[in-house]
Chain A
Amino acid sequence: MAVLAVGTAAPEFSLHVTPDQTLSLSELRGKPVVLAFYPADWSPVCGDELSIFNEILPDLLKYEAKLIGISVDGAWCHDAFAKHKHLHFPLLSDFEPKGRVARSYGAYRETDGVCERALFVIDKDGTIAWSYCSPVAVNPGADGILRALEALHP
């Protein structure tokens, strides 16, 4: 499955961001959004992509961009994981029906039942401005995201 390409309208979703709150993509319209699909909370590497995204939040702020992580883990799991890693951005649960949103972005690994490591930069009007799917087991860095956001703000 290939990830949705540049120029495609970003599929709408509404997912749990905490056990009792949901977040919809349309609520974020008007500002760029960075969607980071990733396979699972609690991966064994300590300094992985989410930790790096966490460190570059001040840079994203310069572009008024909102960063969101998405995996198939449940909201309680995300809650514990985000606290453990001191993450300062929301993690959404693509939990029920499992992987529905990831599938709509072409970012679901059917064989493993988890999200790909796929990144999307969505412009303020809801169109995909940049997308990237990382090879299995390779964490993407934040360089592509920053370049894509820069291109939105020439």
Chain B
Amino acid sequence: MSRLSISISPDDHVQGEPTAACSLVEYGDYECPSCSQIQPVIKRIQRHFGKRLSFVFRNFPLTEMHPWAETAAETAEFADTHGKFWEMHDLLFQNQALLSEALLLDLADSLGLSRTQLRVDLESKTFRSRVRRDFEAGVRSGVNGTPTLFIDDKRYDGSFDSDSLNDAINQALSATML
């Protein structure tokens, strides 16, 4: 069974408490339709489990297939350095069909971030190594497509509907109680 090669660390983008009873890690690509479709499911699950669940997003841009995936991931990392990672993360998925450089700059604008600085950082590839680090750890962890989810460090191979995910997280929670 494939497991996370790198555990959740302060480097990660985490929603909820890192010490929560159960962790859900997503390796995702902002240009992947399946990743976009799973966003509402994850939000529903976060509401359902509340403080018992932490959620981590890691970059896994499939650059050969999705021309904007890498740039979008770097844009989210740029937003992170200004404390706006999750806002950008959500905006990127909401605007997936429209991804372009102009859109990324507009999204930065809409979050009160400097479009000039974003352009500079994208051109100088400031965040490329940050994105590659996630990607490489993902490959080593057995990421087998996008999205790939890990529940308590173990790869989740079930389907992506709320009921199946709920069940899997419940199982993980009851396993930690034992």
Chain A residues within 8 Å of B, Cβ to Cβ:
45-49, 51-52, 54-56, 59, 85-88, 135, 138-144, 146
Q: Is the interface of B mostly helix, strand, loop or mixed?
A: loop
A52 CB contacts on chain B under 8 angstroms: 62, 139, 143-145
Residues of B within 8 A of A47 (CB): 29, 32, 34, 60, 62, 65, 145-147
> By the criterion of a CB under 8 Å from any partner CB, how many residues of chain B are at the interface?
24
Q: Looking at the complex, which one of B139, B144, B147 makes contact with A139 (CB distance below 8 Å)?
A: B144
* Complex alpha-carbon distance, A67 and B2, angstroms: 21
Q: Within the assembled complex, what's the spacing in Å between the Cα atoms of A48 and B62? A: 10
B139 with A48: CB separation less than 8 A: no
Within 8 A of A (CB), among B11-38: 29, 32-34
Query: Residues of B contacting A46 with CB < 8 Å?
Result: 32-34, 62, 65, 145-146
> What is the CA–CA distance of A52 and B143 in the complex, to the nearest angstrom?
8
Inter-chain CA distance A105–B144, complex, in Å, is 23
Closest to B147 in A: A47
Q: Which residues of chain B are within 8 angstroms of A45 by Cβ–Cβ distance?
A: 34, 145
Q: What residues of B have a CB within 8 angstroms of the CB of A48 in the complex?
A: 144-145
Residues of chain A lying within 8 A (CB to CB) of residue B62: 46-47, 51-52, 55
A-B contact pairs, 22 of them (CB 8 A): A46-B33, A46-B34, A46-B62, A47-B29, A47-B62, A48-B144, A51-B64, A51-B145, A52-B139, A52-B144, A52-B145, A55-B62, A55-B135, A55-B139, A56-B139, A85-B65, A88-B64, A140-B144, A141-B2, A141-B139, A142-B139, A146-B140
What is the minimal beta-carbon distance from B168 to any residue of chain A, in angstroms?
Answer: 14
Number of A-B contacts (CB under 8 A): 72
- Minimum distance in angstroms from A138 CB to a CB of chain B: 5
Return chain B residues, CB-CB under 8 Å to A51.
62, 64-65, 145
Q: Which residues of B contact A139 (CB under 8 A)?
A: 144-145
Measured between beta carbons, the chain B residues less than 8 angstroms from A55 are 62-64, 135, 139
- Asked if B5 and A143 sit within 8 Å, CB to CB, the answer is yes
* Assembled-state Cα–Cα distance A48/B32 (Å): 11
Contact check, A141 vs B34: say whether CB atoms are below 8 A apart: no
Closest beta carbon of chain B to A25's beta carbon, Å: 25
Question: Least Cβ distance of B72 to chain A in Å?
Answer: 14
Chain A residues with Cβ below 8 Å from B155 are 141
Which chain B residue lies CB-closest to A134?
B144
A138-B143 Cα distance, complex, nearest whole Å: 11
Per the bound structure, the CA–CA distance linking A51 and B135 in Å amounts to 13
Residue of A nearest to B140 (CB): A143
Q: Enumerate chain A residues within 8 angstroms of B144, measured Cβ to Cβ.
A: 48-49, 52, 138-141
9 more contacts with CB within 8 A, not counting A47-B145, A54-B64, A59-B139, are A45-B34, A46-B32, A46-B65, A47-B147, A85-B64, A88-B64, A141-B142, A141-B144, A143-B5
Q: How far is the CB of B19 from chain A (nearest CB, A)?
A: 27
B141 interfacial by beta-carbon distance below 8 Å: yes
Quote the shortest CB–CB distance from A50 to chain B (angstroms). 10
B35-84 CB contacts (< 8 Å) to partner A: 60, 62-65
